[in-house]
Amino acid sequence: MKEILYKLFMGKPEYNRPIRISPYKDYFISLKRIWNNHKHHDMGFEKILRLFLVSTQIVFPGLHIKAMFWKKGLIYKNVAIEFYVLFKTILPLVLLLSGLYKYKLAVFLVVYLLAETLFYVSSLIFVSDIFVKPRSYRRNILMLFLNYLEITMSFAVIYAGLNLLKGSAVSVMDYIYFSFVTSSTIGYGDFHPTINAGKIMVCMHSIVVLSFVVLIVNFFGSKVEMIHHEEEK
């Protein structure tokens, strides 16, 4: 059974390349490179944003999970992150179905983990130079899809936990449905925020979704361009 699980999650042993630099050291190297304009001649607000996106990694679990597994090799670290992303995707649904979303601590936890995902997605756009070449573009698409589900379900927790659809939504399914409709930019209008806080949250939700669409279009564009260059060689 152990061999089957290893083959399923790790593949071949030779895939598990050693990592020479710890995630913490790499974190500080990335900050230094951005500060010294190692690859980009950015300045002003762009440089401040890039420094901010990288610096925030230290306050979220993702970096520390990488630090726990990096000595075991590349595949162990990647699989640990995949399980962490899956956990963040499932957690909002569990909170909604169990009724725990009514507690402010649960909403705070969801917002905290959601912020990590949003900063990560923003980093893929603004700080893409610090990321190594992806092990698999299919894996990246899968991770982005899980991030999309996490964002949608997390906003459902926020809408429900803070009661931002007063007089409109009455059940957990209503909040989930409204969040998916907003994330897909369909906007049927059968549910809608009735207070200013709810309207502000929907605006933020829409901005996040549009940013996600830009990221995916950019990702596919880069992939097509790379394939085109490879075919010309």
Measured distance CA(93)–CA(185) in Å, rounded: 21
Residue 172: name the closest of 83, 101, 107 by CA: 101
- Which residues span the domain enclosing 95? 73-232
Residue 35 lies in a domain: no
CA–CA distance, 197 with 201 (Å, rounded to integer): 6
Angle between helices 23-35 and 61-69 (to 10 degrees): 130
Structure confidence by residue, pLDDT tens digits, 129-147: 776 555 566 777 788 889 9
- pLDDT tens digits, one per residue of 61-116: 999 999 998 888 888 888 899 999 999 999 999 999 999 999 999 999 999 999 99
What gap in Å lies between CA 170 and CA 190, rounded to an integer? 12
Q: What is the CATH number of the domain that holds 93?
A: 1.10.287.70
DSSP 141-184: HHHHHHHHHHHHHHHHHHHHHTTTTTTT--SHHHHHHHHHHHHT
In a domain, 42, yes or no: no
Identify whether 119 is part of a domain. yes
Domains contained in the chain, number:
1
Q: Count Cα atoms within 13 angstroms, Cβ side, for 198.
A: 22
What pLDDT, on the 0 to 100 scale, is given for residue 203? Answer: 92
Q: What percent of the chain has pLDDT over 90?
A: 40
What is the pTM (predicted TM-score) of this model? 0.85
Say whether pLDDT at 232 is over 60.
no
Residue 84 lies in a domain: yes
Q: Where is mean pLDDT largest: 7-11, 27-31, 91-95, 186-190?
A: 91-95
Q: Report pLDDT digits (tens) over 162-212.
A: 989 887 778 899 999 999 999 887 877 788 888 898 899 999 999 888 888
Residue 116 counted as domain residue: yes
In a domain, 27, yes or no: no
Q: Which amino acid is at 65?
A: I
Residues ≥6 apart with Cβ < 8 Å to 112: 60
Residue 225 lies in a domain: yes
Nearest to 23 by CA among 117, 132, 121, 111: 132
CA dihedral 146, 147, 151, 153 (to 10 degrees): 20
Q: Yes or no: say if 63 and 27 are a contact pair by the CB < 8 Å rule.
A: yes
Helix (DSSP H) and strand (DSSP E) numbers for the chain: 9, 0
Residue 44 located in a structural domain: no
DSSP 8-state symbol, 134: P
CA distances from 134 to 74, 143, 177 (A): 12, 11, 33
**pLDDT in the model for residue 7:** 66
